[in-house]
Amino acid sequence: MHRQMILKEKTKMKIKIPQNIDIFGHQYKIINRDEKISGVDSFGSHFGRVNRIYIDSKLRGSVRESCFIHELIEAVNWHLQLKLSHEQITGLENGLFQIFKKL
């Protein structure tokens, strides 16, 4: 493969968003949520009591991937009772997203 092709592929690195994910032994479902039906106006939500992560169905590409990372950190925050603020979680989201995209 040409070097240029490899580089091109790398910059297009996608973060896989599965339908299910194990977080600390809890089987989470990742569900697309339609804002019009739910009336909820946020990119994503984490519900620890029912092991669900919702992501707005309108989100595409990098915004969707970054949102997924955000909700994973929300889950970690909830399970470990870290008491991170939403702003701190957003900071971690952006830092990790940038690292993952460059893998």
Q: Summarize as ranges the residues that interact with Zn ion (CB under 5 A).
A: 86, 89
Distance of closest approach, residue 70 Cβ to Zn ion, in angstroms: 6
* Alpha-carbon span 98 to 5, nearest angstrom: 21
| Relative orientation angle of helices 86-101 and 61-80, to the nearest 10 degrees | 130
Q: Whose Cβ is closer to Zn ion: residue 55's or residue 89's?
A: 89
Distance of closest approach, residue 47 Cβ to Zn ion, in angstroms: 12
Q: Which residue, judged by CB position, is nearest to Zn ion in the bound state?
A: 86
Q: Whose Cβ is closer to Zn ion: residue 9's or residue 42's?
A: 42
Q: 18: which residues sit within 8 A by CB, 6+ positions away? A: 30
Distance of closest approach, residue 65 Cβ to Zn ion, in angstroms: 15
How many CB atoms within 10 Å of residue 93? Answer: 19
